[in-house]
Amino acid sequence: MVELFLKSFLTLFVVMDPVGLVPVFLALAGDRPPKKQAQIAARAVLVAGGLLVAFFFFGRGLLDHLGISLEALRIAGGILLFRIATEMVFAHHERETEEEKDEALVRADISVFPLAIPLIAGPGALASVLILGGEARGVVGGWAVVLFSAFLVLLLAYLFLRAASGIRRALGRTGVNVVTRVLGLLLAALAVQYVADGVKGLL
């Protein structure tokens, strides 16, 4: 159970990258009052959490309906995670298109898009919770462990968003980039492992 918790927590932490959310959040909401920033952060985390929980419980049924195996999803998830990892390592952060960024800037509410989706609950996070849910089936209380891990990461994401201005001053742009690149390297290794496990399962 401890091993599952550590794997779930580290996987979701690296995929959601709470530290990497800071510069994006500042770019989108840095000029808003602190109270408004707090509201945006809370709404974004709640929406992302609801989506992750829904996908955790009902994603497997959807895959079965579509005839997609968990091994195939594991490989696809690994490929998606590797793409995210390369963007993190090279500090591209291209989680949305330029058109989506421009649209987000003019929208009154940026909590749902692009903060909740796709920055927090992106394809990598959705694939991860589904894969971790499959692995949790063989562990007593495994589902609760995965959901608790997701809750902790979402809580950290909220805390990082709330403290975005202070973190930026403390770490600086270079510090944020260093942390993001280290997390990207870990995510790349995890992505390769996902693909290897998926290929092994299919064979």
pTM above 0.75, yes or no: no
Q: Which of 198, 163, 190 is nearest to 14 (CA)?
A: 190
> Residue 60: CB partners within 8 Å, gap ≥ 6?
70, 130, 133, 134
- pLDDT of 157 reads 96
Per residue in 173-202, pLDDT tens? 787 778 778 877 877 887 888 789 889 888
Mean pLDDT of all residues in the chain?
A: 83
Per residue in 108-151, pLDDT tens? 478 988 789 878 987 788 889 988 988 898 888 999 999 999 99
Per residue in 29-50, pLDDT tens? 877 888 898 999 999 999 999 9
- pLDDT of 91 reads 63
The residue-averaged pLDDT of 82-109 equals: 60
> Residue 33: CB partners within 8 Å, gap ≥ 6?
none
* Alpha carbons 65 and 60: distance in angstroms, whole number: 9
- pLDDT of 94 reads 45
